[in-house]
Amino acid sequence: MRYRLARNRRSKLRCAGLLLTLLLLGARAERVEAWGPHAEITKAALAVLPERARWEELLGEENLTALIAYSWLPDQQGEDLGSFYADDYLLIPAHPRYPPHGMPGVRATYPAYFRRALQALRTETPVNACRQLGPLIHLVEDSGAPPHARPNTPHHSELENWIRTDAITIAGYRPRLLGRTDDEALTALQRRMDRLIAFAAERAERALPLVSAPKPNRAQVEPILLEAALECARVVADLLHTLFTLGLAPQPEGASLSGTVTAAEIPLRNDHGARIVLLGTEFGTLAVTAEEMPAAGWRGAYHLRNLPEGTYRVLAYRTGSRPQVSDPITLVAGKTAHLDFTLPSTEPAGNLVENPDVTLSYLQEGAPDRWRRVQVGGKRVWQSAPARVKSGVSYRLGAALKDPAARVHFRFLLRVMKREWNATLVSLPPGETAPAEKRFAPNILHSAVQVLVETDKPLAEAIDRVWVVPEVE
C-alpha cells in the first residue's frame, strides 16, 4: 500500500524544536505515575503456579506468557494495541468506565473484573480469556503499590520506581486457593486485598521520610519497596491459581455460538478484531482475524461456549464498518449455533473514529460507547476514543452536524501511558450542518487523534457523524 505523503516543510528550526521536545519528553517520562514492576510481578507469580503445565496445555504457553504484557492494560486506557484496543477488555458492562488505580476507589473494582475474568476463561477462546485477565491483575498489583495503597502520598514516582526489578522472585511460594466457588473466592480475595493494601501502606509510611530527605538514598528505599512487590506477587499467584482452578474446571454442558464477521478494511490498521456482544448480558468477545482473508476488506472468526440457554440478540461491530444486530437467536445446551455477519462500510469508507455516528451504546444504557463527557477549558465536550495515526500521511477530518451550534475539533497528540503531550488542534468552521472537511498531516510527535465535540446536548443530538480517514491509495 502506498501513502500520499504530506508536503515536507520541516526546516532546520523545526527539527531543533522537535529534538528539544523529545528531550523534554524523555525528562518527563521518568515521572509517569505507574507502579514500575507490573511485568516482573506477574512473571514471578506465573513462575510458582503449581499446575502451570496444565494451564499451558489448556490456554497455550504463548497466551499464558502474554499475561505479563496484559498486566499493563489499564495503564493503556484508550490505546490502540494493534490487533485490539485496551478498551475492548477494560470497559465491560459491569464496569463501563475506566477503573481507578489507587485507594480508596480501586477496592470497589475487584468484583466486576474478577467475575468477568472467570466468565472469559469459561466462555471465550484462550487469547481473549488471557487478555481479559489483564485489568484484574493490574488493579490487584496497583493496590499493592505503596503510593497507591496510601492515598495522597507525595513522591509518588520514587515510591513506585525505586525498586530493583531483577530481585522480584517468590520461588518456593505455594499459592493458595482463595475459594471453591466464585462467591467464596471473591470474598477471600477482598480480605486478601485488604491485608495487601495495609501491608503496602505501611511500606509507604516507612519509605516516605527516606525519599523526602534532602539527599535521598535510593539504596535505603529499594528493600522496602521490594517487600511490597513480593507481597503483590504472592497475591497475584493466589489470584491466578484460583482463577485457573475455578475458570478452567469442567463446566455443565452449555450452549455454543460461532461465526465469522466480514467487514470493511481499516486503512493502515487492518489487523483489528471485531466486537461481538450478546445484548443485555455480560457475554461478549472479540472476533480475531481469520486465517483466510477475503480479497478486499477483512474477515474474523469468533467462538463462545458454555453459554446459558436462551434467546439472544447479537451485536457485531468493527471500526470502519457499521454495527449490525442479529435477529433473535435461540441457543440450546450441547449445540453450536452459527451466526455470520457482513458489516457495511462507514460513509466515508475507512473511518478510524469508533462509534462515529453514535449508534452504539451497549456498555451503558443511553451513554455512547467509546465517547466520554469531559471539561476542556470550562466547556462541556464529548471526547472520542483516540485513533492511532501515522506521521507523514494526510488525513481527511470531517463532520456532518445535527446542531449547527456544535463545534468539532480534531486533537492530534502524543499519547504514552495515559499521558498526553504536544497537542495540535484542527477545528472545522462553525455554524454549518452540511458536511465540512479539512485535511491535516500529523508529524512524528503525534501518535493519535481524538475528536472533540463542543456541545451541551447529548452527542446524538449534536452530530450526525464525524470522520477521520487516512488518504491512502
Minimum Å gap between C-beta 70 and Zn ion is: 13
Is residue 35 classed as helix, strand or coil in its secondary structure?
Answer: coil
Residue 291 CB, shortest distance to Zn ion, in Å, is 35
| Cell 440450546 found at | 332
State the minimum distance, in angstroms, from the CB of residue 105 to Zn ion: 12
| Set of cell numbers at residue 299 | 474477515
Where are any strands of DSSP class E within 318-368?
324-325, 329-331, 336-338, 341-342
When the beta carbons of 101 and 122 are compared against Zn ion, the nearer one is 101
Least distance between Zn ion and beta carbon 158 (Å): 16
Cis preceding-peptide flag for 348 (omega within 30 of 0): yes
By beta-carbon proximity to Zn ion, the closer residue of 99 and 254 is: 99
Please give the DSSP secondary-structure letter assigned to residue 100. P
Q: How far is the CB of 74 from Zn ion (least distance, A)?
A: 5
Nearer to Zn ion, 102 or 126 (CB): 102
Least distance in angstroms from the C-beta of 196 to Zn ion: 15
Applying CB under 5 A, which residues contact Zn ion?
A: 75, 101, 142
Amino acid at 269: R
Task: Select 142 or 357, whichever has its Cβ closest to Zn ion.
Answer: 142
Between 75 and 454, CB nearer to Zn ion: 75
Yes or no: say if 146 and 228 are a contact pair by the CB < 8 Å rule: yes
**Residue 37: which of 220, 132, 160, 218 has the closest Cα?**
160
Nearest to 345 by CA among 318, 307, 309: 318
Instruction: Cell 501513502: give the residue.
Output: 3
Enter the C-alpha cell of residue 7. 508536503
Minimal CB distance residue for Zn ion: 101
CB 166 within 8 A of CB 226: no
Complex with Zn ion: residue 135 or 320, whichever CB lies closer: 135
Q: In the complex with Zn ion, which residue's Cβ is closer, 101 or 234?
A: 101
Give the residue with the Cβ less far from Zn ion, 101 or 299: 101
Residue 339 Rama label (left phi>0; alpha psi -120 to 50; beta) = beta
Return the beta strands (E) in 21-81 as ranges.
none
- Integer Cα distance of 367 and 458 in angstroms: 9
Q: How far is the CB of 244 from Zn ion (least distance, A)?
A: 23
Nearest distance in Å: CB 349, Zn ion: 37
